[in-house]
């Protein structure tokens, strides 16, 4: 695709306005993904509900969309027959084939996706380019600060829905778990920008929906969540886990997250609502190590527990998760919108392994330096 400069690229001339694309093959090659999403949605419909969801084609802007969540989401949106524009700086390729994706499917997607190249922090550019295009719906996948949202809202006064990817990281740490949408949030958290964004959306009166994922995993994950374990398992190394290993966390498959984002589109029940979206079971740190081993066909791993206070790792992270319980109830989305994750943990990790790490791809090179510090000291003590 030729790189345009601050211009919307039209990759094709005409666009079918309403019909849902008849692609019947699986979009996300490998396992779960089937485009009988229509059927699924109807099944999950609460009785008596007449909502016709996302049946008309919309002009959709995705802020981001080229790195992880957005890659899966944009495919679903295109398949649903929407006109999808990705707003990115173009650092990552605008489109890339999904692992194992058939050429035909990829090309079909590639031919329909649009790119708006720019820096979302250039607020003037955001205002003018968005106003020039006009969009019905915005999916804000990579927004971090409230001020990034203002120019978008300014440019799109007739916006139907602003769908925001927030984070369960906004919850205030608590002795009572799981986190629920009604719980106290932490205005001082690392994710306070997300909180401020939610507050801004609320105050502006726009029809917004905010999704709070926990830890996201799946093929193409750029956050070393499962990858961290896979590197060690592949190398046959022990897995160093801080403290008791009983800390409970929660992973949500990126494809389930993408499906949830689709489900809230045009859904009146989701108006001005916040939803936790993740897997419907939680997992201990030790359990996650074992689940990753199962997923990759590795033997049961040796787990070494250590007291992180006894070490100085400098700037490096010795473990990819917060050292605390961190999990959220996904009941609200289930009860109100019929959103139910498809992937169980081992199943989902297997999907990730088969489509990514297991094929020899990963985002970060293995770095066992902190492991060696931990293991080195353990050896010395014994």
Partner 1 sequence: MATLLSSSSSSSLVSSTNLSPPSLPSLSLSSLSLSSLSPSSISLSHRSLSSSSRKHSLSSFTVKAVASEKKKVLIVNTNSGGHAVIGFYFAKELLDSGHHVTVLTVGDEGSDKMKKPPFTRFSEIVEGGGKTVWGDVGAIGSVLEGLTFDVVLDNNGKDLDTVRPVADWAKSTGVGQFLFISSAGIYKSTDEPPHVEGDTVKADAGHVAVEKYISEVFGNWASFRPQYMIGSGNNKDCEEWFFDRIVRGRPVPIPGSGMQLTNISHVKDLSSMLTKAVENPTAASGNIFNCVSDRAVTLDGMAKLCAKAAGLPVEIVHYDPKSIGSDAKKAFPFRNMHFYAEPRAAKDLLGWKSTTNLPEDLKERFEEYVKIGRDKKAIKFDIDDKILESLKVPAAV
Of residues 280-339, those binding partner 1 (CB under 8 A): 281-284, 286-288, 290-291, 325, 329, 331, 335-336
Element (H, E) at 69: helix 69-79
Q: Is 253 in the site for partner 1 (CB under 8 A)?
A: no
Q: Is 49 in the site for partner 1 (CB under 8 A)?
A: yes
In angstroms, give the least distance from the CB of 287 to partner 1: 3
Identify the residue among 27, 66, 129, 247 touching partner 1 (CB under 8 A): 247
Rounded Cα distance between 171 and 54, Å, is 31
Q: Is 187 in the site for partner 1 (CB under 8 A)?
A: no
Q: At what angle do helices 226-234 and 285-296 cross, to 10 degrees?
A: 60
Angle at the Cα of 164 (from 343 to 73), degrees rounded to 5?
45
In angstroms, give the least distance from the CB of 144 to partner 1: 30
Asked if 233 contacts 296 with a C-beta cutoff of 8 angstroms, the reply is yes
Q: Which residues of 48-64 are buried (b: 16+ CB within 10 A; e: fewer)?
A: eeeeebbeebbbbbbbb
Rounded Cα distance between 80 and 22, Å, is 9
Tell me whether residue 122 or residue 331 sits nearer to partner 1 (CB atom): 331
Tokens in use for 120? 């979302």
In angstroms, give the least distance from the CB of 152 to partner 1: 29
Tell me whether residue 6 or residue 49 sits nearer to partner 1 (CB atom): 49
84-92, 119-127, 176-184, 367-375 -> range binding partner 1 (CB under 8 A): 176-184
In angstroms, give the least distance from the CB of 208 to partner 1: 18
Query: What is the per-residue binding string for partner 1 in 334-373, x denoting contact by CB under 8 A?
Result: -xx--------x----------------------------
Tell me whether residue 210 or residue 247 sits nearer to partner 1 (CB atom): 247
Asked if 188 contacts 164 with a C-beta cutoff of 8 angstroms, the reply is no
Cis peptide before 178 (omega within 30 of 0): yes
For residue 204, the SS3 value is: helix
Binding footprint of partner 1 on the chain (CB under 8 A)? 46-49, 175-178, 243-244, 246-248, 269, 281-284, 286-288, 290-291, 325, 329, 331, 335-336, 345
């Amino acid at each position: 695709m030729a790189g345009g400069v601050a211009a919307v690229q039209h990759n094709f001339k005409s666009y079918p306005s309403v019909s849902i694309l008849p692609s019947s093959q699986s979009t996300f090659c490998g396992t779960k993904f089937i485009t009988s999403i229509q059927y699924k949605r109807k099944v999950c419909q609460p009785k008596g509900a007449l909502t016709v969801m996302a049946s008309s084609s919309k002009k959709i802007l995705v802020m981001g969309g080229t790195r992880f969540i957005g890659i899966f989401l944009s495919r679903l949106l295109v398949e649903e027959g929407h006109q999808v524009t990705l707003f990115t700086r173009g650092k990552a390729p605008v489109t890339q084939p999904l692992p194992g994706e058939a050429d035909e499917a990829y090309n079909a997607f590639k031919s329909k996706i649009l790119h708006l190249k720019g820096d979302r922090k250039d607020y003037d550019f955001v205002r003018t380019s968005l106003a020039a295009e006009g969009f019905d719906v915005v999916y804000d996948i990579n927004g971090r600060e409230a001020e990034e949202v203002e120019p978008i809202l300014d440019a799109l006064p007739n916006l139907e829905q602003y769908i925001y990817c927030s984070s369960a990281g906004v919850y205030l740490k608590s002795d009572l778990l799981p986190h629920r949408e009604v719980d106290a949030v932490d205005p001082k958290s690392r994710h306070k920008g997300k909180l401020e964004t939610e507050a801004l959306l609320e105050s502006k009166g726009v029809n917004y929906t905010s999704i709070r994922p926990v830890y996201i995993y799946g093929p193409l994950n750029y956050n070393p969540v499962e990858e961290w374990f896979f590197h060690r398992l592949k190398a046959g190394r022990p897995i160093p886990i801080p403290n008791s290993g009983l800390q409970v966390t929660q992973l949500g498959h990126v494809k389930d997250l993408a499906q949830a984002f689709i489900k809230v589109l045009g859904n009146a029940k989701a108006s001005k609502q916040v939803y936790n979206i993740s897997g419907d079971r939680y997992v201990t740190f030790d359990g996650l190590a074992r689940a990753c081993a199962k997923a990759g066909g590795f033997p049961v791993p040796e787990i070494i527990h250590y007291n992180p206070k006894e070490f100085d790792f400098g700037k490096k992270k010795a473990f990819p998760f917060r050292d605390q319980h961190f999990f959220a109830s996904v009941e609200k989305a289930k009860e109100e919108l019929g959103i139910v994750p498809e992937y169980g943990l081992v199943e989902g990790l297997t999907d990730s392994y088969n489509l990514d790490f297991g094929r020899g791809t990963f985002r970060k090179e293995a770095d066992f330096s902190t492991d060696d510090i931990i293991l080195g000291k353990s050896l010395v003590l014994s």
